[in-house]
Structure 1
Amino acid sequence: MVGIKSVFEYIITGIIPLLIGGVVIYGLLKGVKVYEVFVEGAKEGLSICLRIFPYLLAMLIAVAIIRESKILEYFINFISPVTNIIGMPSEVLPLVMIKPLSGSGALGVFTDIITQYGADTYIGLVSSIIMGGTETIFYTLSVYYGSVKIKNIRHTLWAAMFAEFIAIIMAINLSRIML
């Protein structure tokens, strides 16, 4: 008897080829030169990659400098008494500080937290919700605004930081409710 798990694995394995095939067939039915359009899209994608590369490189270097210089640790030690008042464990602070800068850096910090404290602990749960509910703000702003040469980000940064703060508060409160 075929189990539900194997049915889902079969569907998941086949979904990407089905989607690609469906797009190709739809394009052919509409009279689109699918291969030529694909090649043009790939060329445009490469030119976008070249345009955003300097911004991406600058952000990655900044994150590496912050992590290696131990500035983050000093700041966390300074701010942890305040965050303890709202119930945020100091062990989660590195994740909160790195996530707005770098998704890969945050993933490394998150992995360390889960390895050390476990996923079913308060610290692990807060970290998991923060990881899934927050954004790499500065990375996103630098890449997307930089690629289209926008210098004045206006209220975007403040709105994103406010959303980040609310997501962190919600992560703390949801974790308390769930445990």
Structure 2
Amino acid sequence: MNYIILAIIPIIVGAVTIYGILKGVKVYECFVEGAKDGISICIRIFPYLLAMLVGVGVFRASGILGYFTALIAPVVKLIGLPSEIVPLIFIKPLSGSGAMGVFTDILKQYGADSIIGIIASIIMGTTETIFYTLTVYYGAVGIKKIRHTLWSAIIADITAIIMAVNLARILLG
């Protein structure tokens, strides 16, 4: 079974290649064209990604996140959300790597089996890097008006956070 798991990607690549050859597609030429398109997309979206990553770095390094967490702590306690989770909630929509750093700090400080650790784990698995995803996907195809996407994603993340708190409380009884 382990051999199949280790070989799954080469098997898929081989199957796609063989299928393309059988259908008369010039597989190598298509691959090269796709690689060219991928590089041009990377060049187009790089400034947006750089701006977002610099913004997240400044936000974390300046200490504003700590002040904002202290300010909003009384409000989040009303819904039963531990205030220690607030930095994760604000960083996750912006940066997956930034959220992973905050998440790691939470687990080191409170432990994976604590209510805070469980809520943070559920949030990491159920929320999205909204602004990063919008930047990459919409920037890649040149969409400038995101319409209802942002609000839908924010509502989905809020729902996931509320459910994370409730699910963790149910699991820990």
Q: TM-score range by the shorter chain?
A: over 0.9
Identity %: 67
The alpha-carbon deviation at position 76 of structure 1 amounts to 0.2
Which segment is superposed worse, 54-63 or 148-157? Answer: 148-157
Matched, 1:74 2:106: no
Q: AA paired with 1:149?
A: G
- The AA in structure 1 aligned to 2:23 is K
SS at match of 2:93: coil
- Over aligned residue pairs, what C-alpha RMSD do you find? 1.2
1:83 corresponding residue in structure 2: 76
Is structure 2 residue 33 aligned with structure 1 residue 31? no
The one-letter code sitting in structure 2 at the alignment partner of 1:51 is: R
**One-letter identity of the residue aligned with 2:44:** R
> Which secondary structure does the structure 2 equivalent of 1:93 belong to?
helix
Shift in Å, 1:112: 1.2
Structure 1 residue matching 2:159: 3-state secondary structure? helix
Q: Deviations over 1:11-60 (max 9, x none)?
A: 32111111111111111111111111111111110000001101101110
Q: 1: CA distance between counterparts of 2:171 and 2:158?
A: 20
Counterpart of 2:105 in structure 1 is 112
Give the drift of 1:144.
2.3
Distance between the aligned counterparts of 1:126 and 1:159, measured in 2? 22
How does the TM-score come out when normalised to structure 1? Answer: 0.91
Compute the TM-score of the two structures, normalised by the length of structure 2.
0.95
Give matches, 1:110-149, under 5 Å: 110-149=103-142
- Separation (CA, whole Å) in 2 of partners of 1:81 and 1:96: 15
1:14-53, aligned counterparts within 5 Å?
14-53=7-46
| Residues 93-137 of structure 1: per-residue CA shift (max 9 Å, x gap) | 110010011011001111111122221111111001100100111
Segments of 5+ residues of structure 2 without an aligned counterpart are: none
Deviating runs (4+, > 4 A) in structure 1? none
Aligned residues: 172
Does 1:165 find its partner at 2:158?
A: yes
Give the gaps of 5 or more residues in structure 1.
1-6
Amino acid at match of 1:97: F
Aligned residue for 2:25, secondary structure, equals: coil
Counterpart AA for 1:124: G
